[in-house]
Amino acid sequence: MKKTKKLIRFDWAMKKILRHKANFDILEGFLSELLSENIKILHILDSESNKETENDKHNRVDILVENSKSELVIIEVQNSKEYDYFHRILYGTSKVITEHIREGKPYSNVKKVISITIAYFDLGQGKDYVYHGTTNFKGIHKGDVLDLADRQKELYLKENPSHIFPEYWLIKVDKFNDRVTDKLDEWIYFLKNGEVRESFTAKGLPEAKERLDQMRMDENERKSYQHYLKRLHDIASEQHTKMADVEKELAEARAKGKQEGIAEGKLEGKLEGKLEGKLEGKLEGKLEIAKSMKAKGFAIDVIADLTSLSKEEIEKL
């Protein structure tokens, strides 16, 4: 049996390889299979939300592209759990919209934004591994879906409001069971396992198999990539330890609460508040340390390395 090539992780490729025009066909293939249409990328765009910094915490990589339909597509790989992740993707789409409309222009110039998250953690609560979200308006009395007027369709070349509002795709990689039933599954198999089977024919995968081969890396690239993988392991391990500590503390608090006869509903509320406070406290503690270091003249890169805060977060302090 022929050994399968081990390929570079997709998030690393987005940081280093897929931003080059010669490799747009890999990203185009992924987008085409996900969105079920032939996608052509015109540009890789820079915004405040996707600029790469040297002190990147490695838990997130994103890229912003404009396709041939003038739509803006955010592709984000998230490696570690964040409770407010839904809030962040909402903020991300809103920020991209406002960054890409010129002052004084009519609202009709707002660009359609498609947000795609590839999550390596259990985002939300659900049984599926691919979720799609759009905005529609449904009548509460008649049950009909609000459509655009004929004149609006002519002016804006849109069929319904969902074609104007941001669109969201969530791929929960770890929920995928490795059973491949279509071409999108072929891509998700690659995202999860870093491999492309000989039988796979999805758009972009043959190119990915050829150009994302780890053996094509030079020595410096290989060292940098190995460091990146180690940081991912470190982040996952740190997060696992923190969550295990919190869960143990909550279990002990539950047991104590039951002994003292505290009602289950009231107890759960107290525990939830305690968990949120503990998690917020960790962040507040990091922010206080960062403020103090900044006031004493420490370099931002040094502060970022010691606190795991981003350069942007530190500059705002």
**pLDDT, tens only, 264-306:** 555 555 555 555 555 545 555 667 777 776 776 777 776 776 6
In the three-class reduction of DSSP (H, G, I as helix; E, B as strand; rest coil), residue 115 is classed as strand
Answer whether 46's CB lies under 8 Å from 27's CB: no
Nearest in space to 11 (alpha carbons), one of 55, 57, 76: 76
Residue 149, pLDDT score: 96
pLDDT exceeds 90 at position 113: yes
Within a 10 A sphere around the Cβ of 64, how many other Cβ atoms?
Answer: 22
Whole-Å CA distances, 99 to 71, 73, 219: 14, 14, 38
Residue 220, pLDDT score: 79
Does the global pTM surpass 0.75? no
Residue 48, pLDDT score: 45
pLDDT exceeds 70 at position 247: no
Residue 226, pLDDT score: 76
Answer whether 52's CB lies under 8 Å from 15's CB: yes
Residue 84, pLDDT score: 85
Q: Which amino acid is at 211?
A: R
Of 27-41, 62-76, 301-315, the least confident: 301-315
More confident: 308 or 195: 195
Cβ neighbourhood burial of 41 (10 Å; 0-12, 13-18, 19+): middle
Residue 49, pLDDT score: 45
Q: How confident is the model over 142-158, as a mean pLDDT?
A: 94
Say how far apart CA 145 and CA 136 lie, in whole Å.
7
Of 42-46, 61-65, 241-245, the least confident: 241-245
Residue 4, pLDDT score: 64
Give every CB contact of residue 220 below 8 A, 6+ residues apart in sequence: none
